Amino acid sequence: MTTTATEPTTTPLISIVAPFYNEAEGIEYFREAILAVMEGIADVRFEIVCVDDGSKDSTLSQLVALSTRDPRFRVVELTRNFGKEAALTAGIDFARGNAVIPIDSDLQDPPELIPVLIDEWRKGAEVVLARRADRGTDSFLKRKTAEMFYSFHNRLSSVKIPHNVGDFRLMDRVAVDALKSLPERQRFMKGLFAWIGYKTVVVDYVRKPRMAGETKFSGWKLWNFALEGITSFSTAPLRIWTYVGGIGALLTVAYALFIITRTLIHGIDLPGYASLLVAILFFGSLQLISVGLLGEYIGRIYLETKQRPTYLVRREHGTPDES
């Protein structure tokens, strides 16, 4: 970044966005880690937008106290727990920076990588992705299910989500504004991040264990999260069930012709109730699955047509630092 003697010198503002939900044990670790990184980067101003997603412990009070001591910390207090995707959306909406860096408050995404993200941004990248090169801190089951999700999603959807890339990234203001223009209420942020595109660079890092507290994502929540991602960016599941139904219909016609032919040749054969029951249960199960899948898409239409806001803010704590 160069300036002439007649050009005003402007220092870019970097917004760090961190959702919090019952993370009281880790706030001090987060503060120390972020401040250590900020002190090591010259010619950049920082703001840290902390979003309290309806925490039930002392998370909010600690964050408010932190914003009182340090004006670079701002706190967006949501009216209740809306979920991580909504909290992340709120933080991005409130961020004022020339670039925005979403990061998990549990510090599994290392703040030490922020200078690398900023360097790539200064070189001209509009989006800098942080990719987990090593997920050894995750369980074997979580690593395998994540791998299966990325592979399955990218085969079904035209919008490809980079493998092992979470929310941790840097986005230039032009990418942030594009993201904010997307109107949907049910937000699968990984997919939205990928959908907007822009000039992208990838940097690798090693995922760390949590500094404090416990994960808020159970196996059931992760399953629903994966289902949300697939139905948000692909109609292929509906098309697949169309093919399944067509194949089933052809098999049924073929079996019916076989039964008619055998009856004409050998007469009526009374045995066969077991096979008939199995066939009825099998095709009935397929119908229930297909109806359930159709319901997922109809449910998304229902939620979108109500046009409820993604989140509600009770109050913003801390005064934006304009220095």
Say if residue 59 is exposed, middle or buried (CB neighbours under 10 Å; 0-12, 13-18, 19+): buried
pLDDT at 66: 87
Q: What's the confidence (pLDDT) of residue 154?
A: 61
What token pair was written down for 320? 């934006």
pLDDT of residue 146: 63
Per-run averaged pLDDT (10 residues), the chain, 323 residues: 44 90 85 86 87 88 88 90 87 90 85 88 88 66 63 64 79 89 79 81 75 52 57 62 68 70 64 62 70 72 76 80 44
Q: What would you measure as the largest C-alpha separation in the chain, in angstroms?
A: 101
Looking at residue 287, its amino acid is Q
pLDDT, position 323: 40
Which pLDDT score is estimated for 1? Answer: 39
Number of CB atoms found within 10 A of residue 83's CB: 19
pTM: 0.65
Would you call 130 helix, strand, or coil by DSSP?
Answer: strand
pLDDT score for 3: 38
Identify the bridge partners of residue 158 per DSSP, sorted by sequence position: none
The rounded distance, in Å, linking the Cα atoms of 134 and 242 is 39
69 sits in the region (left: phi over 0; alpha: psi -120 to 50; else beta) called: alpha
